[in-house]
Structure formats: C-alpha cells, structure tokens
Structure 1
C-alpha cells in the first residue's frame, strides 16, 4: 500500500486551528476535506468513529503535537456530508460512513471489471467481487458490503446488473 504522503499543511500548526477569517477558513476546510478523503482512500477506510478519529491521524499530528479540536472535526465532517462524501449512521453523529468514491463511481469500476474479464451474463458472488483472486488488483477489492450493495443497486437501476440471492448466497449478474 505504500506510505501515505502528507500535504504540506499537515505539518503547519495553524492548519489545526479553525481560522476566524471566512475566506481562509473555507480554504482550510477544503484542505481538510481533501486530506480526509485521500487518507481514507489510502487506508481503505469506509467508516469513521468521530471520537476515536479525533485523536488519531489525520486529525492529529503527534510530530508537531497538534490536534484539530472536536469542533473542527465536526466542521470538516459536516462539509463532507454536504458534498455527499459521508453519511451519519446515528443521530448523535458519533459514527459515519465514508465514501471517497460515490456508489455510482464504484458501480462503474465494477461494471468495467466485469466487461474486461468477460463476466457479462454470468453470475458472480459478492464474495468473488470483493475478495476473489480476479479482483485483487482492483480498487474495489475489500470494499465493505454496504457500499458494494449500494453500487450494485445503482447498476441494477441502470439495467446493467441484477442482484440475485441463491442458496443463502448473494450475487450479481452483469449485463
């Protein structure tokens, strides 16, 4: 997976303090949003516990002894929610689902993979898609079930796939 490449702001102490100037704050929050999504993508994170995350990277940088306050973490996460990159899983906003790619983008990657591998009009189990040898080199390898199903439901809506249940297993047929 390689080492994560931190942006320059991550080692700049003021980045960890919400700026009072609205223009500066907008740029700062944009930088945080980009960082959170890149970090989640690099580490294949699909869920976030807010309290746990607020004390760990990317919201904390032990090398410069800085941490984004909880208010700042919520500011960043709310911006990501308005952009469609996270969804809260509870009313208390203590956990969220992270989508560094939209379900439609994931669906398109899976459909392209199925096309490339001659899997049209064949049934694939969801396990094969997320854990199989044929998908090891794909970005969606290891994707969580909730995101996989959302992505495949969108393909089904576009008539590019059909979700199937058989013998206690779940699968999909690509068209």
Structure 2
C-alpha cells in the first residue's frame, strides 16, 4: 500500500461549502485553519515540499471530482498566504508561482538530516545530494525525494552550526557531516 493510499481527506472535503471562501469571519477562520491543516497533512503524507500555483487548482488536493468542486485561484492564494503567515510556506520565486510547503521548518529538516547522519554512521563521510534525496539508504526517511534547494537550505543551517560542510565536486553537490 503506497503512502497515497493511506491518506484520507477530512470530513470537510466532502462538504461543498468548504470549497467556497466563507464570508463570515469566524467561519472563514475555521475554514482556513482546516485548509492549512489539510495542505500540511497532504504534503507530509505524500512527501511533497513544492507547490506550483499554476498547477494547484487541478491537484486532487484542491479539486474534489466527486463533488465537482474546486477552489478558485483566489482562495488558493488566501490559503497559501495563511500558510506563509504561520511559517509553513516560503516563496521560491519573486512572482509567487512556486513555494516550499514547510510541514517541517528548515531548522527541523536540519535536525532530521543530522540525526540520520549520526544514526547511520555518516559523520566524517561525504554524501552527495543525490544519495540523500534519491539513495536507497534514505527511502524510508522523510527527506527522501526532497527538493534539492530546500535540502541545501537545511544543510546550510548545519553548516552555520559547524555540524556540516557543503562541498561542490565536479558540478555535483555533497555534504560532509561533523
């Protein structure tokens, strides 16, 4: 059973008004909280970390084919802005078309990566970014499949803490954990 098979949408997802931004401010607050929780849970379960605004409206996350309802681009923008306000979203580009959905903060990702390095005897060893993101030794890790730029941000945190050094070798990126 894949991770995607394990994911269940919350009850609100089957409620048609959930797909229309509510005018009552109290109701809207509850609705946005539910959407933010859903986005974070969906991204965590599917091990996703990048959202493309142009493609998001057709995503199963924001489009319920059973109800024939989907969120408007404006409502998706409101949800993404809420995630940004809570520190769970960081824009990748200036045009706000792509963003990282941070179901873990960059600091938390740094801790996860370092814990993996310690637990797997990888201190004083160079690992390529490819090995970390796509390697067989990391298939069960939360960071497996992570966006390379987000990985780089997390490793820079470790570099600032003197727990790692980022290395560039023949056009490939790697990291040595201390």
Q: TM-score, normalised by structure 1?
A: 0.92
Report SS of the residue matched to 2:123: coil
Q: 1:67 to 1:84 in 2, by over 3 A?
A: same
Q: Which residue of 1 aligns with 2:131?
A: 128
Question: Which consecutive residues of structure 1, in runs of 5 or more, have no partner in the other structure?
Answer: none
User: What are structure 2's unaligned runs of at least 5 residues?
Assistant: none
Partners of 2:47 and 2:142 within 8 A in 1 = no
Residues in 2 aligned to 1:98 and 1:148: alpha-carbon distance in whole angstroms: 13
What does residue 163 of structure 1 align with?
166
Displacement of 1:97: 2.5
CA RMSD of aligned residues (A): 1.5
Determine the structure 1 residue equivalent to 2:73.
70
Partner of 1:29: 32
List, as ranges, runs of 4+ consecutive aligned residues in structure 1 with deviation greater than 4 Å: none
Structure 1 position 89, deviation (Å): 3.4
Q: Tell me, what secondary structure is at the counterpart of 2:100?
A: strand
> TM-score, structure 2 length as denominator?
0.90
Contact 2:44/2:103 (CA < 8 Å) preserved in 1?
Answer: yes
Residue 55 of structure 1: how far off its partner (Å): 2.7
- Superposed CA deviations along residues 93-133 of structure 1, whole A, max 9, x for unmatched, are 33322222211111111111110111111221212211222
1:149-169 CA-to-partner distances (Å, cap 9, x unmatched) read 000000111111111123333
The count of residues paired between Structure 1 and Structure 2 equals 175
